[in-house]
Amino acid sequence: MGLYGSPQIGYHASGQPPKRRRRIPLWLWLPCAVIGGLILLFFLVVLIIAIVQVASGKVSLTPSPSVPAIPTATLSTAGPGNLLEASGTGPKITGRFTAKSGWDMSWSYNCGQNVGGFSAQVYDASNQPTLLGVSDVGTSASGVKRYSTPGTYYLQISSGCSWSIAVRAASP
């Protein structure tokens, strides 16, 4: 104890000398600091380049008004009662069709020896998905679905396989 009951300089109040902190070796923290600095420098350079390109007018911050074109399927409306016929391989969006009363959607897909899937989601005229459509997983399948809701629709096909789909006015 020091003078007047105060602890001695360099000692803890308990009278024990303070524990030495373990220092991180230079060979460990120096490379980490250098790498961190280089990463910070990289992001700073990228930020400066982006600012310069926006300021010079090479890049615009406003979104482009054009929407990329979505590939459509092979379409046909040949034959009486046919509202839509489409076939293809891979994902597609069909053209619109208008059903004045009930309608049938016949579909098929074939993935060869591989297991794949097929989905045909029906969208209404306001581009909202409906609860109508078909979804299947396998190597191949086909089927017919009957719907009684009239309206204007289009189909979004999702498949990695070859497929065909036809929409016809329902026979009475």
Task: Round to whole Å and give the CA distance between 126 and 149.
Answer: 15
Of 2.60.120.380, 3.40.50.620, 3.50.30.10, 3.10.400.10, the CATH number of 74-169 is 2.60.120.380
Could you tell me if 72 and 92 are in contact, meaning their C-beta atoms sit under 8 angstroms apart? yes
Total Cβ atoms within 10 A of residue 72: 13
Could you tell me if 90 and 158 are in contact, meaning their C-beta atoms sit under 8 angstroms apart? no
Residue 108: what pLDDT? 93
**Prediction pTM value:** 0.54
- Each of the 172 residues of the chain gets a pLDDT tens digit; together they read 555 666 556 556 666 666 777 787 878 888 888 998 999 998 898 888 888 877 777 766 655 444 444 444 444 544 567 888 999 988 999 889 888 888 999 999 998 888 888 999 999 888 888 888 899 998 999 999 998 888 999 999 999 889 999 999 887 6
Residue 73: what pLDDT? 46
Q: Give me the DSSP letters along the chain.
A: --GGGPPPTTS-TTSSPPPPPPPPPHHHHHHHHHHHHHHHHHHHHHHHHHHHHHHHTSS-SSPPSPPPPPPB-EEE--STTEEEEEEEES-EEPPPEEESS-EEEEEEEE-TTS-EEEEEEEEETTS-EEEEEEEEEESEEEEEEEE---EEEEEEEEESSEEEEEEEEPP-
Residue 72: what pLDDT? 42
